[in-house]
C-alpha cells in the first residue's frame, strides 16, 4: 500500500501558483520523497525529489517539512499543460526498488 496521503483532486486558475500537499508520516531517515505526474494517455513523468532540504528545478519546487512528515509540491505558475495526476511517493529505503504509487491528486487548471 502507498505510504503517502494526498487529496484526491485540486483546482487552480491558470497562471497562479499551486501548492500540492502530501503527508508521509511513516517516513524514515533514508526515504526520499518523489513527485511524478501523469498526463492523459502518457506514462508518469518525473517532477522532483528530495530528502531533507527544499529542492528547486525548472519544473517545480519541493518544500519538505522540518520533521519530514509532510511535503508540498509547488508549481509557481500553473498552465493548462500542468493538468495531470500528481503522485507523491515515499521511497521505501535503500536496497529496494519499491516506489509505491498511490492514487495521486488530480489537478485541474481553469483558464
Partner 1 sequence: ETGVTQTPRHLVMGMTNKKSLKCEQHLGHNAMYWYKQSAKKPLELMFVYSLEERVENNSVPSRFSPECPNSSHLFLHLHTLQPEDSALYLCASSQDGPSTNEKLFFGSGTQLSVL
DSSP state of 80: G
Q: Given candidates 25, 46, 65, 79, which one binds partner 1 under the rule CB under 8 A?
A: 46
- By CB under 8 A, residue 93 contacts partner 1: yes
- By CB under 8 A, residue 23 contacts partner 1: no
Q: Given candidates 22, 44, 71, 86, which one binds partner 1 under the rule CB under 8 A?
A: 44
CA distance 28 to 34: 14
- By CB under 8 A, residue 43 contacts partner 1: yes
- By CB under 8 A, residue 91 contacts partner 1: yes
Give the CA-trace dihedral at 73, 70, 50, 56, to 10 degrees: 30
- By CB under 8 A, residue 53 contacts partner 1: no
Label residue 109 exposed, middle or buried (CB < 10 Å: 0-12, 13-18, 19+).
buried
CA distance 49 to 55: 7
With beta carbons less than 8 A apart as the criterion, state whether 18 and 75 touch.
yes
Q: Given candidates 21, 32, 59, 106, which one binds partner 1 under the rule CB under 8 A?
A: 32
- Which residues would be at the binding site for partner 1 (CB under 8 A)? 2, 31-32, 34, 36, 41-46, 49, 51, 91-104
Amino acid at each position: 500500500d502507498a505510504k503517502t496521503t494526498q487529496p484526491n483532486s485540486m483546482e487552480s486558475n491558470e497562471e497562479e501558483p499551486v501548492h500540492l500537499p502530501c503527508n508521509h508520516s511513516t517516513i524514515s531517515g533514508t526515504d526520499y520523497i518523489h513527485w511524478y505526474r501523469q498526463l492523459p494517455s502518457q506514462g508518469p513523468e518525473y517532477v522532483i525529489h528530495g530528502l531533507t532540504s527544499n529542492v528547486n528545478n525548472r519544473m517545480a519546487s519541493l518544500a519538505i517539512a522540518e520533521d519530514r512528515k509532510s511535503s508540498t509540491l509547488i508549481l509557481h505558475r500553473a498552465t493548462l499543460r500542468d493538468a495531470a495526476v500528481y503522485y507523491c511517493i515515499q521511497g521505501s529505503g535503500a536496497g529496494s526498488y519499491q516506489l509505491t504509487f498511490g492514487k495521486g491528486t488530480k489537478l485541474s487548471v481553469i483558464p
